[in-house]
């Protein structure tokens, strides 16, 4: 690996506070005596009116050819756009790397022992044995993905299993709240605890690699798999991803960061026509790459390359993506795993950085190849032959296997790791006379953390005159309305891959799902609670969304009417109600809008509860005077009804915040799903151009001065809070630089500390999520505000708590494409602190400088 170099450019001396700092590599050292800040004339004060910065726009994105594979497809020579619109003075270049050909594992960042063990393991392997460990054996195995074995060494291979919400295709395992729900908690501790619980279950089933977390951004509100990820913001998604990785891997299970990269819609994502997602280099580094970099920093053992092309080249053979950025710039030590049948070549995929081909067969081949002897794979025997005839160096094959086995050793799977005890292809105990399902119960007490996350991720959007929390003992009659309130009459697992929308919605559909061990629906939870706590209260329910006659009869004289509605989506291989993965629209399903309006027309206390995969349009009914409260419950998993009940009755004070923006109009969003293309030729490659550049989600709304229905980060509480006392401190020391997973260590060193005080001024104890946004100097061409920190703390009524949020060097830097480096731009920075991207209570502007 070539050593990083560092450059210091001119500096505007304005500072008064110093930061002693040294940037260091093995061959180069530059000392920085001081990093300083100088407050601007704009003092810290309470404000919700914050001026913006003009958006970054890069019109130089290199778009792919619109037909067929070209030389770049075969060699992986596609690159990101190098143009950078606008000029700015570089303040401090904090990262520089030089890319080269396929980067072998280095053992950096604590991987030294694991890499050494892996190299020792493969030393005596034959070429075919090495190939067996890199090419999947399809369904010749008990997991959704399996490598071959090395029987003479008693190595049974590696088991890969979905999903990001629990162990898929098995029994006696939990179904956790969706990724978008855990992101909505804005709670780092809960994010990690969820990962820990999931890690225990994957380990208990004998799974080596858990295929998650998913960390593609919710770029398009209608995109089918948004619910699996961490929302629309790179920073929030990065925290969500890294905390989940840490939690899963703390139990010895290899986590998998997916889908790399720009796999952010289901239409045209892959076979038979893979679109090209086209993006400039700066946007990629600052946005879509961010959560992957944070996961690599957290030590993730595997990354999954996606089906789609990026700037014209298939992701799984894109040298710029896999080698230059992932393995070189980010010093990734684990292995690059293909999405299932995403490998489209032999030489280009292997030589440009793919390490493991799953499930092994060619796309569309129904056979089940043994990779050591079969030609039914781009790899398999063809890979072995290519190594034997010198087309592919054996050293490259060695590195592929070394990376796989290094992750295995790094997570301690060579010591007391349980064997696989289930079979993903059948629920039967025996198959062909052999025991395949041992029905091991791995759930433990995980229902508790599932219920906790469910309530902590329920967002209170509207609460007129303190409608909630509700005291059922004071109500004579309540009504429960909508199919989303009740159970699926055929059972929670009736539809394969959860590919239907019947009963209450607690998870989306596709490979990102799991089996429900049980599902507590809201109607049952409320009914049980009222019968036990308030037996004099009458409950009536209409679970038919379109029986308006029954609705009208039931809501008469009701003290409270709970209307449940939902919106579903999932992976593109399943179509539900004509929605091929991505949603066709942003409205509620099953006539939810009309059900709300019908109820509100007669019920003066209409409480709306939504279970949705993402944003929905609310304008048809939101401002109706009888809609007194709105709860946004997302996809809460198996404890759905119980977690909702905790919020309804006030056992839990809601503190969840939106991880995306809810618009008033679909057209207000900066981008949308590409549903159709005019050219129907099979050789035509659909082009998905990221023309919004850095202005994803709320950044676009801020830049274009569009008022959303609910902004990013929004969420109400049963209490109130006040903010005061903003302080900014420059930290005194920064460790010397070295290469580590995630990039140069100095990027992740704290440069600034932001402190402030939050007081609970209301009548209830509760958690507050304080959010920190950065405004860069106008010359940097950044969005008006970008999230760079948050903290959730519990505050008793009447008490105050001090918050402290660190800003790392990377957090106050931008990516400079021409120099391929992170830089801190010259000029003034503004720190904004508040309760959402638009509820800004404190801000301070200051200038940074090297002295």
Task: Tokens 């009548």: give the residue.
Answer: 763
- Of the residues 58, 138, 339, 826, only one is catalytic, namely 339
SS3 (DSSP) at 185:
helix
Of the candidates 590, 664, 138, 163, which has an alpha carbon nearest to the alpha carbon of residue 366? Answer: 138
Coil, helix or strand for 550? helix
Which position has the token pair 């001119």? Answer: 10
Would residue 339 show up in a list of annotated catalytic residues for this protein? yes
| SS3 of the chain: helix, strand, coil, percent, to 5 | 25, 20, 55
Which residues 6+ apart lie within 8 Å of 479 measured at CB?
A: 539, 540, 541, 542, 554, 555, 558, 560, 561, 562, 599, 603
Tokens of 239: 């925290």
Pairing of strands 814-816, 821-825: antiparallel
As a whole number of Å, the end-to-end CA separation of the chain is 32
The answer to whether the Cα torsion of 757, 762, 766, 768 is positive or negative is: negative
Rounded to 5 degrees, φ, ψ at 750 are -70, 130
Total Cβ atoms within 10 A of residue 425:
14
Structure tokens at 254: 């290899």
Asked if 310 contacts 263 with a C-beta cutoff of 8 angstroms, the reply is no
How many alpha carbons fall within 13 Å on the CB side of residue 661?
27
CA angle 208, 213, 216 (to 5 degrees): 140
| DSSP per-residue codes, 19-85 | --EEEE-SS-EEEE--EEEEE-SS--B--S-----PPP--TT--PPPSBS--HHHHHT----B----
Q: 276 has which bridge partners?
A: 309, 687
Q: Which of 560, 566, 567, 604 is nearest to 585 (CA)?
A: 567
C-alpha to C-alpha distance for 647 and 715, rounded to whole angstroms: 13
Show Cβ contacts of residue 806 under 8 Å, excluding neighbours closer than 6 positions.
731, 750, 752, 753, 754, 789
Q: Are strands 276-278 and 313-314 parallel, antiparallel or unpaired?
A: unpaired
Q: Any idea which residue has 């995109």 for tokens?
A: 223
Cβ contact 800:758 at 8 Å:
yes
Is the CB of residue 3 less than 8 Å from the CB of residue 841?
Answer: no
The answer to whether residues 131 and 369 touch, using CB atoms and an 8 Å cutoff, is no
Cβ neighbours of residue 605 closer than 8 Å, sequence gap 6 or more: 467, 558, 559, 560, 561, 626, 628
Backbone angles phi, psi at 326, to 5 degrees: -70, -55
Residue 297 carries which DSSP code? H
Contacts of 422 (CB under 8 A, 6+ apart): 142, 167, 169, 170, 171, 205, 206, 436, 437, 438, 439, 440
Return all residues near 729 (Cβ < 8 A) that are at least 6 apart. 17, 752, 753, 754, 755
702 to 8, 164, 502, 636, 697: CA distances (angstroms):
33, 32, 38, 30, 9
Q: Show which residues are catalytic.
A: 339
């Amino acid at each position: 690996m070539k050593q990083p170099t560092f450059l210091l450019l001119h500096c505007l001396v304005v500072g008064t506070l110093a930061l002693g700092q040294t940037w260091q590599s093995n061959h180069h050292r530059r000392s920085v005596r001081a990093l300083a800040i100088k407050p601007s004339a704009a003092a810290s004060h309470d404000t919700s009116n914050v001026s913006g910065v003009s958006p970054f726009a890069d019109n130089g994105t290199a778009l792919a050819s619109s037909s067929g594979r070209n030389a770049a497809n075969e060699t992986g020579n596609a690159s990101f756009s190098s143009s950078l619109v606008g000029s700015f003075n570089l303040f401090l270049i904090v990262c520089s790397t030089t890319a080269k050909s396929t980067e072998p594992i280095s053992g950096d960042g604590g991987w030294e022992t694991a890499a050494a063990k892996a190299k020792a393991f493969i030393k005596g392997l034959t070429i075919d044995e090495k190939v067996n460990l890199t090419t999947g054996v399809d369904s010749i195995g008990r997991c959704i993905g399996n490598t071959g074995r090395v029987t003479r060494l008693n190595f049974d291979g590696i088991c890969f299993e979905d999903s990001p919400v629990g162990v898929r295709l098995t029994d006696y395992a939990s179904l956790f709240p969706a990724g978008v729900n855990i992101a909505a908690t804005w709670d780092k501790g809960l994010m990690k605890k969820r990962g820990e619980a999931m890690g225990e279950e994957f380990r208990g089933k004998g799974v080596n690699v858990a295929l998650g977390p998913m960390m593609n951004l919710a770029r398009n509100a209608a995109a089918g798999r948004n619910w699996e990820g961490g929302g629309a913001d790179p920073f929030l998604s990065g925290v969500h991803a890294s905390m989940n990785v840490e939690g899963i891997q703390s139990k010895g299970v290899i986590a998998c960061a997916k889908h790399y990269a720009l796999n952010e819609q289901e239409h045209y994502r892959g076979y038979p026509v893979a679109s090209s997602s086209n993006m400039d280099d700066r946007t990629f580094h600052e946005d879509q790459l961010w959560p992957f970099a944070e996961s690599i920093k957290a030590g993730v053992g595997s990354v999954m390359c996606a089906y789609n092309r990026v700037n014209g080249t298939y992701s799984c053979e894109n040298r710029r993506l896999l080698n230059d950025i992932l393995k070189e710039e980010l010093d990734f030590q684990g292995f690059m795993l293909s999405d299932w049948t995403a490998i489209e070549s032999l030489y280009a995929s292997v030589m440009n950085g793919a390490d493991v081909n799953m499930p092994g067969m060619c796309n569309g081949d129904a056979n089940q190849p043994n990779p050591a002897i079969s030609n039914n794979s781009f790899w398999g025997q063809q890979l072995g032959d290519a190594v034997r005839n010198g087309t592919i160096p054996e050293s490259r094959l060695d590195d592929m296997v070394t990376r796989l086995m290094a992750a295995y050793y790094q997570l301690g799977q060579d010591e007391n790791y349980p064997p696989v005890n289930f079979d993903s292809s059948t629920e039967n105990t025996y198959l062909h006379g052999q025991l395949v399902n041992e029905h091991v119960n791995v759930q433990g007490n995980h229902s508790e953390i599932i219920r906790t996350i469910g309530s902590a991720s329920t967002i209170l959007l509207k609460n007129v005159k303190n409608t909630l929390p509700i005291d059922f003992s004071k109500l004579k009659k309540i009504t429960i309305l909508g199919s989303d309130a009740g159970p699926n009459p055929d059972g929670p697992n009736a539809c394969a891959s959860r590919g239907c929308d019947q009963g209450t919605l607690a998870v989306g559909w596709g490979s990102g799902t799991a089996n429900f061990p049980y599902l507590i629906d809201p109607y049952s939870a409320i009914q049980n609670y009222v019968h036990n706590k308030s037996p004099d209260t009458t409950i009536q329910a209409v679970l038919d969304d379109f029986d308006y006659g029954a609705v009208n009869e039931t809501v008469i004289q009701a003290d409270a009417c709970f209307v449940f509605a939902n919106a579903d989506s999932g992976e593109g291989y399943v179509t539900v109600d004509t929605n091929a993965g991505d949603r066709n629209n942003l409205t509620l399903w099953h006539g939810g809008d009309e059900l709300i309006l019908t109820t509100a027309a007669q019920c003066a206390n209409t409480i709306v509860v939504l279970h949705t995969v993402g944003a929905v349009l609310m304008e048809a009914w939101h401002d109706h005077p009888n809609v007194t409260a709105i709860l946004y419950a997302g996809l809460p998993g198996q404890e759905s009804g119980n977690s909702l009940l905790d919020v309804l009755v006030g056992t839990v004070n809601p503190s969840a915040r939106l991880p995306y923006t809810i618009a008033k109009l679909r057209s207000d969003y900066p981008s949308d799903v590409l549903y159709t293309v005019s050219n129907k030729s099979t050789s035509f490659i659909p082009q998905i151009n990221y023309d919004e550049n850095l202005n994803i989600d709320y950044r676009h709304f801020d830049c274009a001065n569009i008022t959303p229905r609910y902004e990013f980060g929004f969420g109400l509480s049963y209490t109130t809070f006040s903010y005061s006392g903003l302080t900014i401190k420059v930290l005194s020391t920064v460790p010397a630089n070295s290469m580590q997973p995630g990039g140069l260590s100095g990027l992740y060193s704290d440069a600034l500390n932001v402190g402030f005080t939050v007081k609970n001024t209301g009548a209830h104890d509760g958690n507050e999520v304080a959010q920190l946004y950065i405004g860069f100097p106008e010359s940097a061409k950044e969005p008006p505000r970008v999230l760079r920190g948050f903290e959730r703390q519990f505050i008793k009524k009447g008490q105050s708590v001090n918050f402290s949020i660190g800003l790392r060097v990377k957090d106050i830097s931008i990516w400079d494409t021409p120099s391929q480096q992170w830089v801190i731009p010259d000029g003034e920075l503004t720190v904004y602190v508040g309760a959402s991207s638009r509820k800004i209570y404190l801000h301070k502007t200051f200038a940074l400088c090297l002295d």
